[in-house]
Amino acid sequence: MKISFADLDLAKKGTLVVTVAEDRALLASAAHLDAQTHGALTRAAAASRFTGKFGQTLEILAPAGLDAGRVLLLGLGKLAELTDAKAESLGGSVYAAVAAQPETHLAIAVDPLTGDLSTASLAARLAHGLSLRAYRFDKYLTKQKADDKPSLEKVAVLLADHSAAKKAFADLDKLADGVVYARDLVTEPGNVLNPETYADRLKDLEKSGLEVEVLTLKDLKKLGMGALIGVGQGSKSESRVVVLRWNGGKDGAAPVAFVGKGVTFDSGGLSLKTAKGMEDMKWDMGGSAAVVGTLLALAGRKAKVNAVGVVGLVENMPSSTAQRPGDVVTSMSGQTIEVLNTDAEGRLVLADILWYTQDRFKPVAMINLATLTGAIIIALGHEHAGLFSNNDALAEAILAAGKDTGETLWRMPLGEAYDALLKSPIADMKNIGDGGAGSAVAAVFLQRFVNDVPWAHLDIAGVAWANKDKGVVPKGATGWGVRLLDQLVKSRYEA
């Protein structure tokens, strides 16, 4: 699908989108078409439940006299309340409304606005949201019917200041590349994406300007990453750690660090999951995918920042060599861990790569992402990710970036009471608590491996995969975190 920006010309074939504010207030292009068709748009809206409410759409077969085959009314709601995130969501609404139609061409008329959001920004964000919603993963579909394939080939966004919109869209398009790459990684099945093939795939990102370093199992043993190695020792696929670096800032400036859990398939190990609980576990590497997608986006738009991404890639499988409940492992930090549940494995992976990241790179801040606990879904459902942090300023910046992008979070507590639940009789700590406050216990476990670095843990178990279409996200892998972290870099760390 090709997206372009052009002058505001309503003589377009295919489907033409025009905008309406709340209370059926037609914006300029819609009003022009309404006058041209002797009030056809007004009558169609009045005969329906369409009021111009935010995100509403109404499809009309184009009245006589128009070149378009269809006209789509798009509700903007209250113009003063439009934001970048809302504009992107509108793009998703447009794609959802036209995806099943046979037309190959779509034109979106963007009229001058009042309020804080510029017309050019609205146009660029609409296009970005449409692009994200149009995502498909169909590489393994060999017998698709023609009606099951999307018809839309070209999207023209029409506005007076199309040069400014095109310029704004350029960076967003690079951001979309990062989101799509992350979604592709999450969607790949476990028999295709394992720690070794995942690491091999990431080596190709050197073409994008990233520095890519792959640590093999031999390297991990030398570093003493006993916690991470223990998780993957039951798999025939060797564990890996991959370091991605983007050096777009000042020479020698401390980087911002992103750390991701990359369990390419999680059976639970010897603490075996149920069949129902296991079938989705190919996406237990969603945190690592978000880190990779973010670094790719930063490189794509040549962000003026130094950034490092570290992902721990393992497969958690049951076998005669698998880690046993009750085993004690020694982490890279030297701290020992009694592993009472092999299905609480993500925190073991993160323990070593968090320590490695803060020790080697001395980052200005360190943010990890992980599909870590089912407990966060019990607490927050699929609406917000859980945010835990040892630094209020960092937490506030992440919350603000979440609001700006629509990838929202809810801050959760840390504390000594939760940390006390990790006490083990034979090791420095155990890897689970007593069954309560599972997400907070996992977070304080991670906190033991970050020292005094400003740090945030994002538990994304409820948002890494979508069970239905919503906004800019089609059903499936969301790529959650890429847009959030890119915005965080822009607002807080970019020179």
Residues belonging to the active site: 273, 347
Q: Is 108 left (phi over 0), alpha (psi -120 to 50) or beta?
A: beta
Concatenated DSSP letters for 224-244?
Answer: T-HHHHHHHTTSSSPPEEEEE
For residues 349 and 227, the answer to whether their CB atoms sit within 8 Å is: yes
| Of residues 207, 291, 289, the one with CA closest to residue 244 | 291
Which residue type occupies 191?
A: N
What's the token pair of residue 51? 């009021």
3-state secondary structure of 161: coil
CA dist., res. 178 & res. 298, Å (int): 9
34-56 exposure pattern, b = at least 16 Cβ within 10 A, e = fewer: beebeebbbebbeeeebbbbbbb
For residues 469 and 279, the answer to whether their CB atoms sit within 8 Å is: no
For residues 335 and 428, the answer to whether their CB atoms sit within 8 Å is: yes
Sheet holding 327-330, edge to edge: 327-330, 336-339, 429-430
